[in-house]
Structures are given as structure tokens and as C-alpha cells.
Chain A
Amino acid sequence: MIRHLFKLIWNRKKSNFLLMTEIFFCFLVLFAVLSLVVYNVRNYNKPLGFSHENVWLLSMRPATDSTALNRQQLEQLLQRAKAFQEVENISLSSSNSPFSFSQMMNVVKYKDKEVTPNFYEVQDDFDKVMQLQVSRGRWFGAPDDASHHEPVVINKELQQRLFLEEDPLGKLIPKNDSVNYQVVGVVEHFRPGSEYTAEEPGMLTRINLPKNKDAFHGELLIRVKAGTGVTFEETMVKEFSGITKNWTLEVTTLEKMRQNKAKLAMVPLIALGVICGFLIFNVALGLFGVLWYNINSRNSEIGLRRALGASARQVYHQFIGEVLVLATFGLLLGIAFAVQIPLLQVFQVETEVYMDALLISVGIIYLLAISCAFYPSKQAAAIHPAIALHEE
């Protein structure tokens, strides 16, 4: 039966060619959009590894180049910040604080492995500010002052890429000729970029203000007590401006930054989704129209089959089957193109994303084909043989 159907479609390949091309392009569009959707949804469902509620970010841009003066003012500001009742914990951070638009990356080597993780410079209280859970080892802190090496906490992703099966704790990673990083802890997840990005290798290094006399960090993460609002923000900024004079200070909440990032990811996705949805609907209408016309113009053939004893059900199945075979031809071609992307590793994305997208696209196309063929086939099956043959 199936072989017969394939033969039928193949024999009329010229007149079916356009339908197949249409299904082919439709599949490609679906596959591209769904890959993007699947990628984002999969990432969204992974844990971030920290909690951003009630965390504020203060950005400070000094007006002068004098490092000594800036440092002095910064330390005063930190003192003042800790003294506020509403503030639970604070931590300076490099410019790539959670949900920010900046990135800091560098190559690290261990044995013959080479990875380029994100570097996050943070202070000792960062784990409390962001409520990080260290799954193995410990968080760095004052006891590390005595250590010869620089303590770092890495995320699972970096551990897997750099150390594979080895125990990472205590391992040394060379920073430069004289200094090494020493891994003191591992966090299961740390994905501060955005909820929609994949887990990237990350390394948290320690900001040690007393040791580095001329280091300056312009971002301060502040965990405030729940329910603290804009009134406190105003008092805080006023106090800080008193200390820092001409600096530009800006306060925002991580929640707002998260929303900005989410908007950036969601808006194109929604726009693409809407466009894709209408394209598919358009194709569905077209397919329906063409199938309807084609099937209706085969009255005599149907009449003949019915007269020779085929049941309405058999006719119905034949037409649905034909459409499915048609869709299969288009899909085969489409899949041949689509699998090139994961095979050639065009983008650094897991193959599962493409597989999911591929399967869903195939499912949707078949569903589309069946639902478009449903009504015309039913009509064809209902044709009375005598009338059909009489018309002929």
C-alpha cells in the first residue's frame, strides 16, 4: 500500500513539485524558529544558581583619575553602606555583575586543557549577597589572606571542561608566571548572564582590597532587607553623593536588569513566533486550497475505484496517505539540509536542541498536512460512484 502511494506521488512529481517545495521551505522556517525557542526554553528551565530578589546594584563612575583619592572615597562609601540598617550584605564586583551587559573572559590552562571561562571578581560576602550554594569545598574568605595562592570558586561547567573526572579541590591553575589560582570550592550552577543563556564556564575570584592598594571596582551589589523601597534609595544615594562628590552614582535593582535582559531575549522570539505562526497559517490555507482542488478534480478516478468495490474508508485513507507521502518527500529533503547544522557544528549549541526542534517540526508538518487533507479527503470519500462516473 505504502509503496503504491510512493509510486503514485512519484509518477506525478512534476505537478506535486511545488507542494513539496512549499513543505520543504515551511519545514526549514519551522526548524530555524523552533531551534531558537527550544534553546531558550531549555536554558530558562535550568537553575540560575543564585537569588536576585532584594539585591540592588550601585554603579559608581568617578570623575577624576586620581586612584588614591578614589580608593579613599570608595572605602568610606563601603563603611557607610555597611552601617545602614536596611542593608544586609554588600560586595563589590567587576563590571560583569549579574544580568549586566558586559563580559570578562580569559584563557586558563590545566595540564593540556584550555578553557576560556568568564571571570567574576567579587568580595568575600558575595555568597551571602547572592545566596550562592557551594556544593563542594568552601567559599573563600579571610582565612585565605595567609594563602600563597589566589583562592577561586569555579562552577560545575568549568570543572567538567578543565578537570574532567579529577577532584578539582586544591588544584592549581597558573594565573601568570608567579601566581596560581587555587580551587577552593565548586558551585553547581552559576549563570549570571541571563536566564536565557546556556551555562558557561565561570570562575569567581576574590577582591582583596587591603592587598591591592590601587584596585578600583565600580559596581557594588547590595542585599537589602525585604520591602525596602525607593525612600531608602534616595537617602542612600544622597549620603553617598556627600562622600563621593562628583561621582556619577546609579542605583538599579537586579530584578529590573533581569527584566531588561529577558525583554531582549523575548521580544525577537515573540516577533519571530508571530511571523512564523502566520507563515504557517498561510501555508496551511494554501495547502488546503490546493488539495481541495486537486482531489475534487479526480472525481472520475474516485468513481472508478468505488465502482470496483473500494469502500469510502479506503478512498479516504488513500488520500490522507498520499498527502502524508507528499509531506514526507518535502521533509526528507528538509531534514537532509537541517541535519547539516548540528553535524557541521555551525553554532556552539548542544545537538539535543536541534533534535528536539527537528522532531517537533516534523510533528507539526505532519499534523498540518493531515489537518489540511482531512476535509477534502472526506468529501472525496463521500462521492457516490454513480454520480462521479456519470459526470465523466
Chain B
Amino acid sequence: MLKNYLKIAWKVLLRRKFFTFISLFGISFTLMVLMVATALYDHAFGPQMPEHDMDRLLFVNMIRVSRDGGYMNSSPPSYHFLNRHVRTMHTPEQVSINSVFHTVNSYINNRKLALDLKHTDSEFWQLLDFNFVEGGPFSQQDVQSANRVAVINKTTREQYFGDMEAVGKTIEADQVKYRVVGVVEDVPVLRLHSYADVWVPISLRSQDFNKPGLHGVYFATIKAHKPADVSSIKAEYATMLAEVERQQPEKGTEVHSSPDSVVESFARTFLGNGRESGLLKLYALLAGVALLFMLLPAINLVNINISRIMERSSEIGVRKAFGATSSNVISQFIIENIFLTLLGGLVGFALSAVALWLINDSNLIAYAHLALNLRVFAIGLLLCLLFGLLSGVYPAYKMSRLHAVEALKGGIK
């Protein structure tokens, strides 16, 4: 039966090539945009080198202090705060403190390189999975004795040394010389917490270490033993923060900060307000935009499908006259539609591969390597089916209500 339906569907597609082209174009283009969007989302929030264990990683990147009378200050936390209160937490497996990257200048052969430099501790290399091209990370020893060593990314190596090996050589940034100990693959810039061109020991900024106060220029990266521990880490963090809040000398001081996953911290930055992360708002917004975007092609498809089906009213009349029920007819048309959508989906995948390649090639996002992966593929397929149902159900329903006699006469107007 299914095979028969598919055969019919194929014949119908070939009969009206123009209509087929319109449908396929609409489906494949819409899917392409959705795929590019999911690839971007995945690139920003999904597991990706060096942040592989996304379900075990939490990031602290903001602390907000507000007092009575409208005073409000929010910025990344200070080293003092992170070192004293976050590093000492019991539930996490490991905690790393690293600085917000800043740009440093480097001049080679009358050329200027603006490099993004990040100060990290040695735990940073253990809890994140960097892909080392050569050499390795700097050790705890290096950090303790504040050695001027650096890990650089591949692009920086190319710009400095060409294709040569870099380990053991020196690079200069802001008039300071560092010895290269390792080279890693480029980290995309959207990975704000790990991204940099050059990583150096955090102890080179030890003048910041003793500054009291909550505000500074540091991030913390927290790794849980297992995904289920995330909530207990959050709970411990909240208790710790309440204690910090209590110790503040000024009356009416409120301190907000929380360890977030990448999506949560993004939502908090743009939509949240202190305690709530705004994650639901973000998802609602994304879903709304996606729905609105799909609406127009869907209506278009419904329109075309109605015209296509109307043409076949005599066929339906014959089928009904021979005893097919409404649900038989509906299922036939839905299957046909899903078949068409999947076909459009295939074309869409090809198109999105091209689009992603173009985006990567244009260097719009530094070090982006957007890729179609299996998860994105699955989401796309799901969207395909949804799309097929969305555009197939209404015309099919409309057709199934035709009376055999009317249908045989040529359909309704």
C-alpha cells in the first residue's frame, strides 16, 4: 500500500513540474535557513571543542551588586571573590579561574597582530578538552612560579612562524616575551569562556590577586562530577552567595551571581533580571521567530497543495466510489506530502551545506567552523516532517470531505 502511494506521488511530481519546483524550492529554502540557524545555535551553545562535557560545565561570568537607592553595578567577578568563595566549594570536581580576554599588540615585520590574550590557571587545561597540535599545556609549576610561557592557537602560529614548529620559540605581546609551550586548534570566538589566541599563566597578574571587592575581570569555569550534580552545585553556590551578601557592610545590599550553562548565561545577559535566568523567555522567543518564519512558506505550500489536489478530484472520486474511506484519502495525501517534504529536505541539506561553507569561508565569525552534524541533521528532519504535516493536513482534510459524486463531476469550486 505504502509503495503504491509512493509510486503515485512520484508520478504526480513528474506530471506538473512547475508546481513541483515551487514546492521543492519553498521547502528546501526554508529548511536551509532553519538548518543554518540550528548550526549557529549548536556552534554557540552545543558541545564543541574545547567545551565537550556541556552537561557538566558551569560558568560564572557576572556578579551584580545592587543597594537601596538605585545603586547597581554588574561586571565579571574579582579574582579575590572567585578564589576565596568559589574555588573552595565542595560539590564541584574542579574549578578554574581565568581572566576575561583582552587584546594585546604584537608587531612582526612591520605588521601588527592584535592578539586576544587570556590568563588561566593550570586547572583550565584539565577541565576543558583542547586539541593540542603540538606541545602541551603549561603546568601547575609554571603557574606557581609565574613563568612567562604561553599556549597559542594555530592561526597565531601561522602568522608568527609560518608552517614551522612553534614550541620552544618566543612570541612577544605588549613588549613582554613568552616562550611557547603548546599549540592548540583554533577556538571559536563564540566560546567566550575558553576563546583566546594566546593563553598565559594567571599568576602573571598577581597584582590583582589581593584586591578585595567583588568586581573584577575574571571568569570561573566549574566542572561537576556527573550531570546530576549540577543542581547541587547551584544550591551550594546560592548558599555561599547568601553568606557573602550577609557579610556586606552596607545595609540593603543584594548580590546576584550564579553558575550557568552557556545558554543560561546568554539568556541572563540579554533577557534575564538577576535571579531569573530568562531561559524560558529565550526559548519562547526562538520558537516564536522560527514559527513566524515558517508560517509564510507553509501558507504558500498549503495554497499550492490545494491547487494540486483540486486537479485530482476525479481520481479521488473514483477511489471513493470504489469504497475508500475519508481516512484512506487523508493518509494517502499526508504520505505524499511527507514524501515531497523529505525530498525537499534532501535538497535543503545540500543547500545548507553550501551556505555553511560560505559562512565559514567569509570569516564573518572568527574561527567559526559551522558544520552539519548528526544532531542538526535530526532536528532538520523533524522540522521537515512537521512542515509536511503542517502543509498537508488542511488540503487533505478538505479533499476527504468531497462526495464521490461531486468529485467525479469535477470537484467543488
Contact = CB atoms under 8 A, between A and B. Distances in A.
Interface string B20-60: 01100110011001000000000000000000000000000
B387 to A, nearest CB: 13
B159 to A, nearest CB: 14
B103 A250 contact: yes
Nearest to A278: B29
Contact of B18 (A26, A237, A289): A289
A237 B105 contact: yes
B399 interface: no
Contacts of A65: 211
B300 A22 contact: yes
A18 B297 CA distance: 12
Contacts of A238: 175
B304 A290 contact: yes
Interface stretch (B71-79, B269-277, B305-313, B324-332): B305-313
B297 A282 contact: yes
A249 B174 contact: yes
A95 interface: no
Interface of B: 18-19, 21-22, 25-26, 29-30, 33, 102-105, 107, 110-112, 114, 174-175, 207, 211, 293, 295-297, 299-304, 306-307, 310-311, 364, 413
Interface string A246-288: 1011111000000000000001000000010011001101101
A18 B302 contact: yes
Interface in A288-320: 288-290, 293-294, 297
A224 to B, nearest CB: 15
A195 B33 CA distance: 29
Contacts of A103: none
Contacts of A18: 299, 302-303, 306
Given A248-B104, A290-B307, A282 B112 contact: no
A2 interface: no
Nearest to A12: B413
Contact of B107 (A29, A230, A275, A290): A230
A361 to B, nearest CB: 14
Contacts of B300: 22, 282-283, 286
B304 A250 contact: no
A43 interface: no
B296 A25 contact: yes
Interface in A220-251: 230-231, 233-234, 237-238, 241, 246, 248-251
Contacts of A61: 102
Interface residues of A, number: 40
A74 interface: no
A142 B412 CA distance: 88
A215 interface: no
Contacts of B295: 25
A12 B105 CA distance: 70
A248 B111 CA distance: 19
B307 A293 contact: yes
B307 A21 contact: no
A102 interface: no
Interface in A10-53: 12, 15, 18-19, 21-22, 25-26, 29
A209 interface: no
A233 B19 CA distance: 62
A248 B102 contact: yes
A285 B26 contact: yes
A230 B105 contact: no
B296 A283 contact: yes
Contacts of B110: 230-231, 234
A63 interface: yes
Contact of A22 (B21, B22, B296, B413): B296
Nearest to B32: A278
A178 interface: no
A63 B217 CA distance: 13
Q: Nearest 5 A-B pairs (CB), nearest first? A: A286-B300, A293-B307, A285-B22, A234-B107, A282-B26
A105 B92 CA distance: 42
Nearest to B117: A248
Nearest to A19: B303
A251 B103 CA distance: 10
A222 to B, nearest CB: 15
A288 B33 CA distance: 23
Contact of B304 (A26, A63, A286): A286
Given A22-B300, A237-B175, A289-B19, 20 more contacts: A15-B413, A18-B299, A19-B303, A21-B299, A230-B110, A230-B111, A233-B107, A233-B112, A234-B107, A238-B175, A248-B174, A275-B33, A275-B293, A282-B296, A285-B21, A285-B25, A285-B26, A289-B307, A290-B307, A293-B311
Nearest to A291: B307
Contacts of B18: 289
Contacts of A294: 307
A249 B304 contact: no
A64 interface: yes
B172 to A, nearest CB: 11
Nearest to A64: B207
18 contacts: A12-B413, A15-B413, A18-B303, A25-B295, A64-B207, A234-B112, A237-B175, A248-B174, A250-B103, A250-B105, A279-B297, A282-B26, A282-B30, A282-B300, A283-B300, A290-B307, A293-B310, A297-B310
Contacts of A15: 413
B87 to A, nearest CB: 24
Contacts of A21: 299
A22 B299 contact: yes
Contacts of B296: 22, 25-26, 29, 279, 282-283
B215 to A, nearest CB: 13
B299 A63 contact: no
B364 A267 contact: yes
